[in-house]
């Protein structure tokens, strides 16, 4: 007689020759099991994958915002004082004035060498197609970004770090004789003689043409609450020295995320709004084609883009740099270059060694067009 399968129980009984299926509480399916789980020893290995998730700060906004200019020459000649500031009137029929001349000064700027290298053993590289390992290409990508951030940190080093091999910092470029009275970052100590000298220019003796405008507090006076008037005063004093004082083109404000948040709070409290602008910024940075530009949305103050950077110096909150990019740039003698070698005999090890390097320096051609607000809380 043919058997009919009408239920799942009929199917299981026919397929597995069970005489009958009982309910779970009947005891047949209630038995001691030993399942293979994700926690079972030796049963599971995690494949982490190639992507490296960096948990460190890698942005380089200050370095990125500096225009990258080809290295033309190792210095420039500056006019540091006008020939005359008197009226130029001559009486009718009067004597011809004596000849006059401005004051000239020569500024020497030496390119710096910046480099970072790393290596990976040949065994590790050969295992790339066999095991789940970090591969050379991904390590190179991370190290390039880290190198860029190191350059950025260099350009944002404090003003008492006199550079002999590293890049000059924006904090030192935007310095002045008056700043000697303000002390080191966060009122930690007085500034020493020579701390603010730049490109061999002595800023210790007296106020001079090489002084940027710096708003700060005397040493040991603590910090002050940020006010918008601090930024306004800096702009008022540096704007006359811009190539075109009537425009904010090629001007940026660089500060930390904490100070940017404070600026926005102050602006909103006055029932105004921080407008959003599209900033076109030259980024001759790591692994980009020379001259490539990118756009990013940034807040702006009085029409000047505000670029936040996590590496900006903090007294209590971050300092504020107002930068005239017509007169502040990064001179590039050798653009960023990536080289690799697997010549084991030359290296003295069975590995591939890689290096990122560049030759250049932060170059300022007009100090009085730059400004800084410091000693803030």
* Residues 341-377 pLDDT 10s: 999 999 899 998 999 999 999 999 999 999 999 999 9
Tokens for 154, please give them.
């260099």
Tokens for 197, please give them.
């000298």
- Strands, E assignment, 219-327: 251-255, 276-282, 293-301, 304-308, 320-324
Give me the tens of pLDDT residue by residue for the chain, a chain 377 residues long.
Answer: 556 777 777 777 777 665 554 544 555 555 677 887 778 787 777 776 767 676 766 788 999 899 999 999 999 998 888 888 888 888 888 888 888 888 999 999 999 999 998 888 888 888 888 888 888 888 888 888 888 999 999 999 988 878 788 899 999 999 999 999 998 887 778 888 888 999 999 998 889 999 999 999 998 888 999 999 999 999 999 999 999 999 999 999 999 999 999 988 888 776 544 555 555 544 333 232 233 333 444 478 888 888 999 999 999 999 999 999 999 999 999 998 898 899 999 989 999 899 999 999 999 999 999 999 999 99
Instruction: Kindly give, in sequence order, each residue whose CB lies less than 8 Å from that of residue 341, ignoring residues fewer than 6 positions away.
Output: 347, 352, 353, 354
Q: What is the reported pLDDT for 66? A: 93
- The sign one gets for the Cα dihedral 137, 140, 142, 148 is negative
Tokens for 311, please give them.
């590496």
Q: What is the DSSP letter of 198?
A: B
CA distance 38 to 14: 34
Q: What is the reported pLDDT for 127? A: 86
200, 206, 211, 214: CA torsion to nearest 10: 130
CA distance 342 to 91: 80
Total-model pTM: 0.79
């Amino acid at each position: 007689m043919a058997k009919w399968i009408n239920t799942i129980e009929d199917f299981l009984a026919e397929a597995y020759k069970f005489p009958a299926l009982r309910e779970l509480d009947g005891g047949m399916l209630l038995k001691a099991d030993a399942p293979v789980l994700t926690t079972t020893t030796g049963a599971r290995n995690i494949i982490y994958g190639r992507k490296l998730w960096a948990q460190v700060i890698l942005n380089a906004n200050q370095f990125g915002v500096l225009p990258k200019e080809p290295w033309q020459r190792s210095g420039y000649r500056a006019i540091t004082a006008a020939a005359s500031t008197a009226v130029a009137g001559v009486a009718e029929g009067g004597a011809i004035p004596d000849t006059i001349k401005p004051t000239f000064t020569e500024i020497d700027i030496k390119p710096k060498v910046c480099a970072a290298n790393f290596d990976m053993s040949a065994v590790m590289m050969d295992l790339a197609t066999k095991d789940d390992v970090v591969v050379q290409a991904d390590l190179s990508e991370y190290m390039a970004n880290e190198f860029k951030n190191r350059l950025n940190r260099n350009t944002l080093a404090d003003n008492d770090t006199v550079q002999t091999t590293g890049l000059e910092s924006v904090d030192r470029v935007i310095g002045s004789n008056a700043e000697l009275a303000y002390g080191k970052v966060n009122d930690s100590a007085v500034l020493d003689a020579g701390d603010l000298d730049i490109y061999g220019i002595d800023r210790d003796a007296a106020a001079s043409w090489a002084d940027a405008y710096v708003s700060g507090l005397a040493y040991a006076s603590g910090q002050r609450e940020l006010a918008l008037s601090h930024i306004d005063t800096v702009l008022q004093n540096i704007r006359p020295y811009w190539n075109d004082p009537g425009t904010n083109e090629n001007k940026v404000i660089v500060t930390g995320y904490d100070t940017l948040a404070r600026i926005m709070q102050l602006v909103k409290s006055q029932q105004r709004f921080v407008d959003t602008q599209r900033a076109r910024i030259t980024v001759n940075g790591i692994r980009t084609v020379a001259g490539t530009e990118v756009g990013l949305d940034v807040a702006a103050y009085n029409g000047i883009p505000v670029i936040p950077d996590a590496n900006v110096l903090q007294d209590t909150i971050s300092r504020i740099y107002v930068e005239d990019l017509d007169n502040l740039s990064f001179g590039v003698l050798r653009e960023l270059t990536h080289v690799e070698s697997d010549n084991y005999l030359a290296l003295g090890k069975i590995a591939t060694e890689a290096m990122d390097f560049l030759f250049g320096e932060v170059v300022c051609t007009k100090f009085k067009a730059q400004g800084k607000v410091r000693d803030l809380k």
